Amino acid sequence: QKTGMNRFLYYGWSAESIPGYNCTDYKPLVPNPNINVLGGALDVAYGIIVIFLYAPTVVVFHRQSRLACFKIMFFLGLFDIGAIMINSLVTGFLLMNGASYCDYPNFIYISGSIGLGCWCSACLTCLVLALNRILDMVCPLMVKIYFRGYRTCAVLMAPILYGCFFFLFTSPIIFSAEHETWFFDPRTMKGHYKDYTNIPHTINNFSLVFLTCFLYIFFCLKVRSQFRKSFRPKRTARQRQIFLQSTLLCLIHLSASVLYVIMQFVEMPKFFTILSQYLWQLAQGCPVIIYLLFNRKVRAALLVFMTSSSQDKSSNYIRKSADNRMMLLKLTPSQNTTTAVRKLTENDNYLQCKIHLTQGEPEKQEETIQDRADTEKREL
Contact (Cβ atoms closer than 8 angstroms) between residue 351 and residue 319 = yes
Which residues contact residue 144 at a Cβ distance below 8 angstroms, ignoring those fewer than 6 apart? none
Going from the C-alpha of 24 to that of each of 28, 97, 105, 209, 252, the distances in angstroms are: 12, 21, 12, 39, 39
Going from the C-alpha of 143 to that of each of 70, 125, 138, 201, 320, the distances in angstroms are: 14, 16, 10, 30, 36
List, in sequence order, the alpha helices (H) in the chain: 5-10, 37-63, 68-84, 91-97, 105-138, 140-146, 151-169, 199-203, 209-228, 233-265, 270-294, 296-314, 316-319, 362-379
Going from the C-alpha of 369 to that of each of 110, 237, 325, 363, 364, the distances in angstroms are: 67, 48, 12, 10, 9
Bond prior to 31 in cis (omega within 30° of 0): yes
Q: What is the pLDDT of residue 377?
A: 39
Q: What is the pLDDT of residue 119?
A: 93
Cβ neighbours, 10 Å, residue 265: 11
Which residues contact residue 204 at a Cβ distance below 8 angstroms, ignoring those fewer than 6 apart? 120, 123, 166
CA 251 to chain centre: 18
DSSP 117-145: HHHHHHHHHHHHHHHHHHHHHH-HHHHHH
- Residue 361 sits at φ, ψ, to 5 deg, of -75, 145
Low-confidence ranges of the chain (pLDDT < 50): 1, 309-310, 313-358, 360-371, 373-380
Length of the chain: 380
**Class for domain 7-228+250-302, per CATH?**
mainly alpha
What Rg, from alpha-carbon coordinates, does the chain have? 28
List own/partner pairs for 287-290 with CB under 8 A and 24 or more apart: 287/73, 287/76, 287/77, 287/80, 287/249, 288/50, 288/53, 288/54, 288/57, 288/77, 288/80, 289/50, 289/53, 290/245, 290/248, 290/249
Q: What is the pLDDT of residue 110?
A: 94
Cα(258)–Cα(299) distance, integer angstroms: 32
Cα(66)–Cα(63) distance, integer angstroms: 8
pTM above 0.85, yes or no: no
Q: What is the pLDDT of residue 2?
A: 56
Dihedral sign for Cα 278, 261, 181, 17, please: positive
Residue ranges of the domains in the chain?
Answer: 7-228+250-302
Mean pLDDT (the chain, rounded): 77
Contact (Cβ atoms closer than 8 angstroms) between residue 23 and residue 16 = yes
Contact (Cβ atoms closer than 8 angstroms) between residue 57 and residue 77 = yes
